[in-house]
Structure 1
Amino acid sequence: MNSFLSLLDSIPEDSIAVTVYLVGSVIILWAWYLIARRLPKPLGGMTWLIGFAILLTPTVSEGNNASIAPAFFGLLFGILTKEKALIWSNASLILFVVGLGLVIGALWSKYMANKARFAANKNSSPL
């Protein structure tokens, strides 16, 4: 146990925090996927996308030790401190990721529908 703790002491705290956050986000998104796939198709995908955007949209934190941070935490901090610029910058980043995901999802849905239609036409040809 001592060797394991000494190994953790040699790893920077920032790396451990980011790793735990990313692994936790993946677990949350996977669990929500198991729930969302039982919802109607567009609603399940949209809720998963919103969860993804809230959890994983990055931003740069402010201050002397600025680094990458989730935009959701910046949004919460802006709400708590009533800094409108911080609120709008982080909310716009989250909404941008949601919008981009919705566009990609719509294009993917259209592609899959055309692919299925093409496969159905190919299988039903008399030749």
Structure 2
Amino acid sequence: MNEFLSILDSIPEDSIAITVYLLGSIIILWCWYAVARLLPKPLGGISWIIGFAILLTPTVSEGNNASIAPAFFGLLFGVLTKEQPLIWSNLSAILFVTGLGMFVGYCWNRYMSEKAKLVINKKSTPL
């Protein structure tokens, strides 16, 4: 057990925190995907994109030990301290990722519908 703990001591704390956060976010999004599949098609996809944007939009924290942090935490901190620039910068980043995700989802939906039309047309034409 001491050998395992000594290995963990050699890894920087920031790397451990980011790894745990990313793995936790992946698990949360995977679980939400199982729920979102049961929702109506556009609502499930949109809710998954919003969850993704809230959990994984990055920003840079302020202070002397600044590092990468989720924009949601910056947004909450801005609301608690009533700093308008902090609120708007983090909210705009989250909304940008949400909009980008919805655009990619729209393009993916169009691609899949065209692909389905091609499959249906191939089946209906006699050889």
Quote the residue 1:106 is aligned against: 106
Establish whether residue 123 from structure 1 lines up as the match of residue 110 from structure 2: no
- Residue correspondence of structure 1 range 1-127 to structure 2 within 5 A: 1-127=1-127
Aligned length: 127
SS state at 2:29 partner: helix
Distance 1:77 1:83 in 2: 8
Whole-Å separation in 1 of the counterparts to 2:111 and 2:14: 41
Task: Specify the SS of the correspondent of 1:88.
Answer: helix
Query: TM-score of the superposition, structure 1-length normalised?
Result: 0.98
SS in 2 for 1:69: strand
Q: Secondary structure at the match of 1:66?
A: coil
Aligned residues with identical type, % of pairs: 74
**Displacement after TM superposition at 1:50 (Å):** 0.4
The residue type equivalent to 2:119 in the other structure is A
TM-aligned CA deviation for residue 119 of structure 1: 1.1
TM-score when normalising by structure 2: 0.98
Q: Which segments of structure 1 move beyond 3 Å, counting only runs of 4 or more?
A: none
Q: Report the Cα distance in structure 1 between the residues aligned to 2:23 and 2:111, rounded to whole angstroms.
A: 31
1:43 aligned counterpart, secondary structure: helix
Query: Aligned equivalents of 1:114 and 1:17: distance in 2?
Result: 42
User: Match of 2:117, SS?
Assistant: helix
Q: Residue type of the partner of 1:124?
A: S
For 2:81 and 2:115, the matched residues in 1 are separated by: 50
Residue by residue over 1:7-59, the C-alpha shift from the partner in whole angstroms, topping out at 9 and shown as x without a partner, is 11111110110011001000100111111111111111111110000000001
Unaligned runs of 5+ in 1: none
CA–CA distance in structure 1, aligned partners of residues 107 and 8 of structure 2: 44
Corresponding letter in the other structure for 2:16: I
Q: How far apart, in 2, do the equivalents of 1:19 and 1:65 lie?
A: 19
